[in-house]
Amino acid sequence: MARLLGTTMVAVASICVAVSPMAGQFALAQQVPERGVGVADRTRPDYDPVGVRAGGFVVYPSVTTSAEYTDNLFADPANEQDDTLLMVAPEVRVESRWSRHALNLQAEAASRFHSENDGEDFTNYGFVADGRLDITRQTSLAASAGFRVDHEGRGSPDLPNAAAEPTRFTEARAEVSLTQRFNRLSLRPSLAYSETDFDDVALLPPAGGQINNDDRDREEVVAALRIGYEVSPALELFAEGRYRDIRYDNFDDTLGGGGVARRDSDGYEALAGASFDVGHLARGRLGVGYLSREYESSLIPSVDGAIYEGAVDWFVTNLTTLGLFGARRVEETTLAGASGNLVTGVGARVDHELRRNIILGADATYEMSEFEGTAREDDTLALGADITYLVNRNLRLVLDYDYDRRDSTAPGADFTTNSVILSLRTSL
């Protein structure tokens, strides 16, 4: 599988063959905003970074500095600890400006520093490259490859409260796809590979010792085929099938009843639905289907059931966009006795352009997690509100409030957190 990652990175390579003074007044939102484009997605020539030209590319460097307060850093119901922290996140994006083909590169990092709990400090980083080769007007080849170092959140069900620090993991991904159009019919086969490796993590006293996370390391291959038929310029019907194969590096001894086995599995997901774009009114994608996941070990129960995926943007007015989204999926877990985490989620997001450079936002997400093979069930509610002030092309301010709550049937797994974040982003 590592060979596939290298091959894909070669494919990507082949495809490529100072802050201004603050504005003296707010810009009015009534300056003819784009129709049929969401508030968060539309271009704002007076406030979008222009980047730095480098031949056929444009380079967009930026640095985001954030100050955050949280009232429950460890997502712990019995030992709530508040803390303040500073985050510094540099980023560089490189985008091609060619008439045909495309190549994009991105590198980013984020360092978090806590005032009271420096054991929670960490640095994440990653990079990704993606490209497109336009073979003909009807045929294109796309490829992407990336690598990242990240940390699990304290609320992860796979991370016990007794862990001395967040779990660090690395992930490598690669994907290739081919899009072929035949008049109204389109085909898109794709192949994706990912490899995830988790570091061991120490346990707090009096437990001591460490958690061996080798049984979480895994490789995943997904082969997919999407078939689309354009009924009209505003409506496309589609059917999509995916075959997923997951292989773990080591045996898992948390299956319950003294069982030891690898969590290797394979299965399929089948979806059918429609994509639509009704001009200035709405656009979106809706699909329903079925999934089945079988595990090689008889100690691990299979997972199957109905699934759905959807996302719709409704352009309520030129100044307000309402987004609705949802999905039902299976996530990997090493929770003792569980085969997989069947997650059913729905959410909404609203953005309103109060003025051309002041954007108000609010969102809500609900997820129900069913850990198959166990009695555990989690209900998670996330609420948020934010204000974005675009000062000029080089500077923006964001004030964000987040509320997260989890109610679980597992003892000691409930928590509630409140966070306030003030971010300053500088860019060229």
**pLDDT tens-place string over residues 59-80:** 999 999 999 999 999 998 888 9
Taking alpha carbons only, the member of 386, 388, 389 closest to residue 400 is 386
Q: Which helix (H) or strand (E) holds 12?
A: helix 2-15
Position 156: which residue type? S
Supply the pLDDT for residue 215: 86
Q: What is the pLDDT, as a whole number, of residue 154?
A: 85
Instruction: Answer for the pair 409, 377: CB distance below 8 angstroms, yes or no.
Output: yes
pLDDT given for residue 37 in this prediction: 86
At residue 61, what is the residue type?
A: P
Task: Give the span between the Cα atoms of 379 and 160, in whole angstroms.
Answer: 18
The list of the chain residues with pLDDT below 70 reads: 1-35, 161, 252-260
Distance between CA atoms of 295 and 330, rounded to whole angstroms? 13
The pLDDT tens digits for 234-290 are 999 999 999 999 999 887 655 555 556 778 999 999 999 999 999 889 999 999 999
The predicted model scores a pTM of 0.85
Give me the domains of the chain, ranges plus CATH numbers. Answer: 18-54+61-86+168-427 (2.40.160)
The answer to whether the beta carbons of residues 237 and 226 sit under 8 Å apart is no
pLDDT of residue 31: 52
Q: What digits encode the pLDDT tens for the residues 180-212?
A: 999 999 999 999 999 999 999 888 777 778 888
| Residue 47 Ramachandran class (φ > 0 left, ψ -120 to 50 alpha, else beta) | alpha
- Note the pLDDT of residue 280: 86
- pLDDT at position 114, please? 96
- Tokens matching residue 104: 């994009």
Q: How far are the Cα atoms of 202, 343, 383 from residue 323, in angstroms, in the given order?
A: 41, 20, 14
